[in-house]
């Protein structure tokens, strides 16, 4: 067989571990095992009907051709309105663009901004794709570590300590995947103060969990509390989590026109426009009835409370109350230390998968070894069963 050696670029990264756990759970289920999947990073609800109908209408009315690379006028206008109404941010048409999922928005941003040798400052625990996306752009991820004692949030001193003359981009994700915690207004302002001292550093705020929030009255990103960063901040968002539209692949950005133009150039030579039909559906999502958001968030909150209370009852597990998202991120170092045959969170996740038939993503994938990400985007019935199984195998 021909030995095909992959590019250094492809060799420098690993497959997305969150997607890998979900795939592994599906494979074991197909082989007849009764696996409960707590790995999935997507809402378990169906996409609301009015959104699906808009997509069907788009197909039937012939919206089946290429659109502008950066998205249809209609969708871009809806995004501008969304940013204005919900985030108090003003953008022009050349400052917003649509991509095939927020993951793709981030990818194109990293590609358009970063050069080899640039550093990307990423607080841990982080969403799995940020460091590898930095590497794909030839840049170096600089990870700021936090622990459960810090509520998994970085301090202004830590941010300052991570900055060098190579720093090019700072990534913030609040509410956070995987920790579920949210930075407060004061905490964001303190980080903003540090960033204002370093005008060469760009900022990306990944607001994808904006709506899945209960720990604060109102969602705020770093730009809301530090408007002076406007010229060098990119806001990333999408419809995947807010409207249970993960499969539709629509993400979008608001940011400096020149940078957005660079992202569009990259899209024009790679993917072209995001799917025309999904764009029509995203218009319906952003402009239509918003009740789904409130309904789903209250369900996630109830599940969060259940998972939190149950985890806290288990010896060796320490957990924070989350502010939002559909993840809990318990510290399981106590459990690992108490078990003779388990050395780390990866082995512990394997143990849970084999012995309890419960799939979770080990904290190492997020830069926080010893922790475990539990997605509660699944039914209460399955959550109850999984908590029972975890307790049983640890007893
Ligand atoms: N950012 C974070 C923090 C996420 O959890 C996800 C979900 N995979 C994304 C971005 C990307 O979402 P999508 O590509 O589905 O819009
Ligand atoms: N964001 C989700 C997760 O963290 C989806 C999987 C992925 O895109 O990596 O699980």
- pLDDT the model gives residue 17: 83
User: Which residue has the least CA distance to atom 4 on ligand 2?
Assistant: 41
Q: How much distance in Å is there from the Cα of 127 to the middle of ligand 1?
A: 8
Q: Does 373 sit in the ligand 1 pocket, CB within 6 Å? A: no
The per-residue pLDDT for 308 is: 98
Strands (E), the chain: 36-37, 96-99, 119-123, 140-144, 167-173, 202-206, 233-238, 251-254, 327-328, 358-359, 361-362, 372-375
Token pair for 311: 């985890």
Instruction: Please check whether residue 60 is in contact with residue 394, taking contact to mean a CB–CB distance below 8 angstroms.
Output: no
Q: Which helix (H) or strand (E) holds 390?
A: helix 380-394
pLDDT of residue 253: 98
Ligand 1 pocket, residue 123 CB under 6 Å: no
**CA-CA distance, 78 to 56, in Å (whole number)?**
19
Question: For residue 274, which ligand has an atom nearest its CA?
Answer: 1
Instruction: Report how far ligand 2's centroid is from the alpha carbon of 178 (Å).
Output: 10
Residue 109 CB–ligand 1 contact under 6 Å: no
Phi, psi of 256 (to 5 degrees): -60, 135
pLDDT at res. 15: 86
pLDDT for the residue 24: 84
pLDDT digits (tens, 9 = 90+) for 109-127: 999 999 999 999 999 999 9
Please indicate whether residue 48, judged by its CB atom, sits closer than 6 Å to ligand 1: no
What distance in Å separates the CA atoms of residue 119 and residue 135, rounded to the nearest whole number? Answer: 10
Mutate to test the pocket of ligand 1, among 40, 105, 127 (most ligand atoms within 8 A of CB): 127
Instruction: Please give the distance of CA 255 from its chain centroid, rounded to a whole number.
Output: 19
Q: Name the residue of 102, 105, 361 to mutate for ligand 1: max ligand atoms within 8 A of Cβ.
A: 102
CB 251 within 8 A of CB 108: no
pLDDT at 373: 98
Q: How far is the CA of 129 from the centre of ligand 2 (A)?
A: 8
CA of 251 to the centre of ligand 1 (A): 9
Q: Which atom of ligand 1 is nearest to the CA of 209?
A: 3
Distance 141 CA to ligand 2 centre (A): 19
What are the tens digits of pLDDT across the range 198-243? 999 999 999 999 999 999 989 999 999 999 999 999 999 999 999 9
CB 144 within 8 A of CB 165: no
Ligand 2 centroid vs 304 CA: distance in angstroms?
Answer: 18
Q: Under a CB-based contact definition with an 8 Å cutoff, are residues 368 and 152 in contact?
A: yes
Per-residue pLDDT in tens (0 to 9) along the chain, 395 residues: 888 999 999 999 988 888 888 888 888 999 999 999 999 889 999 999 999 999 999 999 999 999 999 999 999 999 999 999 999 999 999 999 999 999 999 999 999 999 999 999 999 999 999 999 999 999 999 999 999 999 999 999 999 999 999 999 999 999 999 999 999 999 999 999 999 999 999 999 999 999 999 999 899 999 999 999 999 999 999 999 999 999 999 999 999 999 999 999 999 999 999 999 999 999 999 999 999 999 999 999 999 999 999 999 999 999 999 999 999 999 999 999 999 999 999 999 999 999 999 999 999 999 999 999 999 999 999 999 999 999 999 98
Provide the whole-model pTM. Answer: 0.97
Distance 279 CA to ligand 1 centre (A): 17
From the alpha carbon of 241, which atom of ligand 2 is closest? 1
Cβ of 328 below 6 Å from ligand 1: no
Q: Which residues line ligand 2 (CB under 6 A)?
A: 16, 18-19, 41-42, 103, 127-129, 177
Which of 208, 324, 377 most suits a substitution to test ligand 1, by most atoms within 8 Å of the C-beta? Answer: 208
Q: Take atom 8 of ligand 1 and give the residue whose Cα is closest.
A: 41
pLDDT for 73 equals 98
């Amino acid at each position: 067989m021909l030995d095909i050696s992959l590019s250094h670029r492809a060799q420098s990264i690993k497959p997305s571990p969150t997607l890998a756990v979900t795939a592994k759970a599906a494979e074991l289920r197909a082989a007849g095992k009764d696996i409960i999947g707590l790995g999935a990073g997507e809402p378990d609800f169906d996409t609301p009907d009015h959104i699906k109908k808009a997509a069907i209408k788009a197909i039937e009315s012939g919206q089946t051709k290429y659109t502008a690379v950066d998205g249809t006028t209609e969708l871009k206008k809806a995004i501008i309105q969304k940013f204005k109404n919900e985030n108090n941010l003003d953008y022009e048409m050349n400052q917003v663009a649509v991509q095939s999922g927020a993951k793709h928005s981030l990818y194109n941003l990293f590609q358009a901004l970063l050069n080899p040798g640039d550093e990307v400052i990423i607080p841990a625990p982080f969403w799995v794709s940020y460091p590898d996306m930095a590497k794909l752009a030839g840049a170096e991820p600089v990870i700021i570590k936090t622990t459960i004692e810090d509520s998994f949030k970085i301090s202004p001193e830590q941010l300052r300590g991570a900055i060098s003359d190579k720093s090019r981009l700072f990534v913030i994700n609040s509410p956070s995947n995987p920790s579920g915690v949210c930075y407060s207004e004061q905490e964001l302002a303190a980080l903003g103060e540090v960033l204002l001292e370093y005008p060469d550093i760009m900022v990306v705020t990944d607001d994808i969990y904006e709506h899945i929030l209960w720990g604060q009255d109102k969602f705020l990103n770093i730009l809301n509390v530090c408007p002076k960063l406007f010229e060098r901040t990119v806001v990333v968002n999408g419809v995947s989590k807010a409207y249970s539209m993960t499969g539709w692949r629509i993400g979008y950005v608001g940011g400096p026109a020149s940078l957005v133009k660079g992202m569009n150039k990259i899209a024009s030579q790679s993917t072209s426009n995001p799917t025309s039909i999904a764009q029509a559906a995203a218009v319906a999502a952003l402009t239509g009835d918003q009740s789904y958001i409130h309904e789903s968030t209250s369900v996630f909150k109830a599940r969060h409370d259940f998972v939190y209370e149950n985890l806290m009852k288990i010896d060796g597990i320490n957990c924070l109350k989350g502010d939002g998202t559909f993840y809990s991120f318990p510290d399981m170092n106590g459990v690992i230390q108490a078990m003779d045959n388990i050395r780390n969170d990866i082995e512990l996740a394997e143990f849970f998968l084999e012995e309890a038939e419960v799939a979770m993503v080990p904290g190492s994938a997020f830069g926080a070894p010893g922790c475990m990400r539990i997605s509660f985007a699944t039914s209460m019935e399955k959550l109850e069963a999984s908590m029972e199984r975890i307790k049983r195998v640890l007893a």
